[in-house]
Chains A and B, each alone.
Chain A
């Protein structure tokens, strides 16, 4: 069964540095998402991406964050000038077509630790 793959599985970064989290969505999917889960808290929506542009974003997704689909396969989340509170598990997801009947398929996540 096709999978969403994320790299790296664990990223350790100094506060203030930039980090790029990478995702390869399922190949025929059209919608892409990033979520995060701070330890002990809920999984929170960050952003959705369709047709090479952001379709929806949460209030968490401020100017510090950006997303990109640099080629036909990768989907990246960039966090500029990281802060301690950015430490979390970041999940990428993808889905086929819009609508309530299409589930989102998740990757295994990247654990981001800011020191």
Chain B
């Protein structure tokens, strides 16, 4: 079946450090790929998405590129801020009729001053 694997957390960085959170997936065809973020005490918010191979999703300084050859969708940010502290979830939606999202386990990021 379809699945998403994220790097285990927690991840702790200093402000202005470079962030990478790895995400790989297993699915047939060309799923759509998403990163969601969950700030403390809040729900899941869509951060960015990509719907076809080689697409780059970007938002709030975060980027992720849909790599079909490596089945990956790694999240990156060049300079993190304390306000980026949150849990980040990688997710896919399979190509075809299913609307359900398949999530990774989430990676908790803490950014210290």
Contacts and interface: CB of A to CB of B under 8 A. Distances in A.
A103 B34 contact: yes
Interface size class of A (residues with CB under 8 A): 20 to 34
Contacts of A56: 98-100
Interface residues of B, number: 25
Contact of B43 (A45, A58, A103, A106): A106
Contact of A91 (B34, B43, B100): B43
A99 B17 CA distance: 36
B93 interface: yes
B32 A105 contact: no
A58 B2 CA distance: 13
Interface of A: 4, 6, 31, 33, 35, 41-45, 48, 55-56, 58, 91, 93, 95, 98, 100-101, 103-109
Interface of B: 31-32, 34, 36, 41-46, 49, 51, 89, 91, 93, 95, 98-106
